[in-house]
Structure 1
Amino acid sequence: MSALPVPSDAGGVDPQASRFVRIAAVRQMTGLGRSTIYRLVAACQFPPPVQLSSRAVGWRLSDLEQWSRARKPTSH
């Protein structure tokens, strides 16, 4: 699996420090299904979501990128 895309730096401020992505983007970036993501979260094998509002969660982009880099490459 390749590393997730990294946005360019904006004026010396780390744009990923507070950037969040929703489940649809997480699914697209990882290739995992919704159930698989939540199963991996429950097993502490995927970054946990952050509560954004009373009805919305998101994932820190930096956490997802770190998770992606830590995964072993697969061959098909």
Structure 2
Amino acid sequence: MQDQNTTAHTAPRRLIRMPEVQRLTGLGRTTIYKLIDAGTFPRQRKVTPTVVVWPEHEVAAWIARVLDGHTEGEQRAA
């Protein structure tokens, strides 16, 4: 039996595709891939030869850092 407190506070993890990443971030495809290349945006995962996805919680964490004024690139420079 699972602990109800643990289960109640754990959101299911989702994998999202590029259109959803773009919608959540407001960024275009090219910008997203440039940020990935720069190491400042979560890397995509290849799930089939033609499909890539991002863990939604990683994209949400990136958005939170941007809203807090802390991107990964700024943290390295500090």
Q: What is the TM-score normalised by the length of structure 2?
A: 0.71
Match runs of 1:52-67 below 5 Å: 52-67=47-62
Which structure has greater helix proportion? 2
1:59 counterpart SS class: strand
Structure 1 residue aligned with 2:26 = 31
Tell which structure's C-alpha radius of gyration is larger: 2
Q: How does 1:60-75 map to 2 (within 5 A)?
A: 60-71=55-66, 72=69
User: Which of 39, 55, 65 is matched with 1:44 structurally?
Assistant: 39
**Bigger relative CO (Cα 8 Å, ≥ 6 apart):** 1
Gaps of 5+ in 1: 1-10
Gaps of 5+ in 2: 1-5, 71-78
Q: How many residues align?
A: 61
Structure 1 consecutive aligned stretches of length 4 or more whose deviation exceeds 6 Å: none
Quote the RMSD (CA, aligned, Å). Answer: 1.8
The alignment's TM-score, normalised by the length of structure 1, stands at: 0.73
